[in-house]
Structure 1
Amino acid sequence: MLRTTIMGLCLAAALASPAAAHFQELLPSADVLPEGGTVDLDLVFTHPMDRGPHMQMEKPLRFGMLREGQTTDLLPKLVETVNGGKTAWRTSIDLKEPGTAIFFVEPKPYWEPAEGKYIIHYTKVVVDSFSTGEGWDEMVGLPVEIRPLTRPSGLWTGNLFTGVVTKGGQPVPYAEVEIEFVNDGSVTAPNDAFITQVLKADANGTFSYAMPRAGWWGFAALTEAETTMKSPEGKDVPVEAGALIWVKATDMGKAP
């Protein structure tokens, strides 16, 4: 009886705890390449602020680069790796020419049994080669996507990042946006309320957030897909379609 009671209490505590935010990371080694060159990109599915746990990430359905209106398929360049004991992906891309490269990924749907739904986070990040400051607001055309109104590269700590949540190319009024910092271990949240920052876009789908610390910040606008999918048990379940963009803040006086 004691064992059963303890197990019941543990289950109740788990259900009462706030759900950890899933974030599809797509992090480059730099947001700006002043002289061009090679950028390394890591694709990990995890909880950034908590530094885990990591989730198994199967090979994406799409991974590419948008540059000057041209899309390049980079899926064959992905190399399987391990991060946090789970499968992740990595690649290196040489940006020889000036201009902005927008890297994006459409991961394979992830089944989350705790929430009873599939998760697809359409994710992108901007890398500026030769510090041109051009082309950063070009849209990939993902089903759900954040349109940056602030250039998402070359930002100081404390800068206000502003974007518009879109679905099917149209703004999403009052969309919920979750924000997390990629914690290097230097930040301890006072309590769970500080782990994931949450805000609502306005009636035009526009949101803003001032990044208080140097490092990478993920902005995840969560929407529900129009269609359902079959769970492993064969039931129709919802699909969380997230629009993610990663933005780096840099302290003044420090190199990126």
Structure 2
Amino acid sequence: MKKLLLSSAVALTLPAMASAHFLLEYTTDTMIDRPGDVPVKLIFWHPMENSHVMNLERPQEFYMIHNGDKTDLMDSLEPVQFTGGQNTGAAFKGHVPVKRSGDYVLVTVPTPYYEEAEDIYIQQIAKAFLNRNQLPTDWMNPVGLPTEIVPLNKPYNIIAGSTFTGQVLADGQPVAGAEIEIEYMAAEPDMNSASSSMPVVSAMPGGAIVAISDMNGYFTFGVPRAGYWGFAALGSGPVTEHEGKELSQDAVIWIRAWDME
């Protein structure tokens, strides 16, 4: 993890970086009108480029937080195959029981993934958000994960053209100088099939979009377009080794932006 102390968060592009790995907790919508089981897919993928799909092992944990209460969702998971633009990989489908009004914070703690090309393990601890009846309850609260990004804007109700601010934490403390990769879900999973849609935008010519957290762990990004946006704080977690190799324990958050109509 890079420790670069900056006075403010700066968005920039690193030309040499490869496309970003992102763990998705994908639902077709974030605002839920009716009570019921909301389908979700867990996919480890490069959604901006619609490129390589990594094989996802069964997670260590998959649960939701609603009104401060934790509900285990591991029993809802079933293995599936998912096909991106380059290959097919192992993924999971499950469901989230959305009944009462309020926020539903989805949390996935995956099994570390071995990245052979870099000879390291990657563990992307991911959060995503659903809401029913526009009643905010949990979105602004830390979950208490080894590392996480806490949103300062309501994450399922971002206005395209505005900004999103998050704070990177490790063991509840701010992480200064964290490198945050930013990903647009240009291609989206089809919930009724095993494949992705076609990308609606091209990959950035300079490579991955990156921001750096300031001395208090904060970063801000101007959200230019409606849709799903992901943020991954690389190596921000306290665990740095797995099975004798380097581990990048990353904090991931997904937000949803909307056009004003």
Measure how far apart 1:35 and its partner are: 4.2
Unmatched tracts of structure 1, length 5 or more: 1-15, 231-235
Cα deviations by residue, 1:38-71 (Å, 9 ceiling, x for unpaired) = 4221110011111121000011110000111211
Aligned pair partner of 1:228 in 225, 231, 241: 241
Aligned pair partner of 2:140 in 128, 134, 137: 137
Q: 2:113 touches 2:121 (CA, 8 Å); kept in 1?
A: yes
Cα deviations by residue, 1:211-249 (Å, 9 ceiling, x for unpaired) = 11111100000126444222xxxxx32100100000011
Q: Who is 1:18 aligned against?
A: 17
Which whole-Å CA distance do the structure 2 matches of 1:189 and 1:44 have between them? 19
Which whole-Å CA distance do the structure 1 matches of 2:241 and 2:203 have between them? 35
**Alignment map for 1:158-197 (pairs within 5 Å):** 158-184=161-187, 185-189=199-203, 191=205, 193=206, 195-197=207-209
Q: Who is 1:201 aligned against?
A: 213
Measure how far apart 1:158 and its partner are: 1.5
Q: 1:60 touches 1:107 (CA, 8 Å); kept in 2?
A: yes
Which whole-Å CA distance do the structure 2 matches of 1:44 and 1:127 have between them? 18
Other structure's SS at 1:142 match: coil
State percent identity of aligned pairs: 35
Residue identity opposite 2:241 in structure 1: T
Measure how far apart 1:186 and its partner are: 1.5
Other structure's SS at 1:81 match: strand
**Alignment map for 1:1-256 (pairs within 5 Å):** 18-84=17-83, 85-184=88-187, 185-189=199-203, 191=205, 193=206, 195-223=207-235, 225-230=238-243, 236-253=244-261
Tell me whether 134-143 or 40-49 shows the greater mean CA deviation.
Answer: 134-143
Cα deviations by residue, 1:142-173 (Å, 9 ceiling, x for unpaired) = 10001111110122211211110000010001
Cα deviations by residue, 1:114-158 (Å, 9 ceiling, x for unpaired) = 111100000010111111123211222110001111110122211
Other structure's SS at 1:132 match: coil
Which whole-Å CA distance do the structure 1 matches of 2:159 and 2:242 have between them? 41
Quick check: which has more Rg, 1 or 2?
1
Which whole-Å CA distance do the structure 2 matches of 1:77 and 1:226 have between them? 28
Change in CA separation of 1:158 and 1:83 when aligned onto 2, cut-off 3 Å: same
Measure how far apart 1:36 and its partner are: 4.1
Q: 1:126 touches 1:136 (CA, 8 Å); kept in 2?
A: yes
Unmatched tracts of structure 2, length 5 or more: 1-14, 188-198
Measure how far apart 1:19 and its partner are: 2.6
Change in CA separation of 1:158 and 1:36 when aligned onto 2, cut-off 3 Å: farther
Measure how far apart 1:34 and its partner are: 3.7
Other structure's SS at 2:39 match: strand
In the alignment of these two chains, the number of paired residues is: 231
Indicate the structure whose relative CO is greater, using CA pairs within 8 Å and at least 6 residues apart: 2
Which whole-Å CA distance do the structure 2 matches of 1:157 and 1:47 have between them? 22
Cα deviations by residue, 1:84-133 (Å, 9 ceiling, x for unpaired) = 21111111223110111100001111001111110000001011111112
RMSD value, Cα: 1.6
Which whole-Å CA distance do the structure 1 matches of 2:27 and 2:204 have between them? 29
Which whole-Å CA distance do the structure 1 matches of 2:204 and 2:229 have between them? 19
Which whole-Å CA distance do the structure 1 matches of 2:155 and 2:17 have between them? 30
More helix by share: 1
Other structure's SS at 1:18 match: coil
Which whole-Å CA distance do the structure 2 matches of 1:98 and 1:209 have between them? 29
Other structure's SS at 1:76 match: helix
Measure how far apart 1:250 and its partner are: 1.2
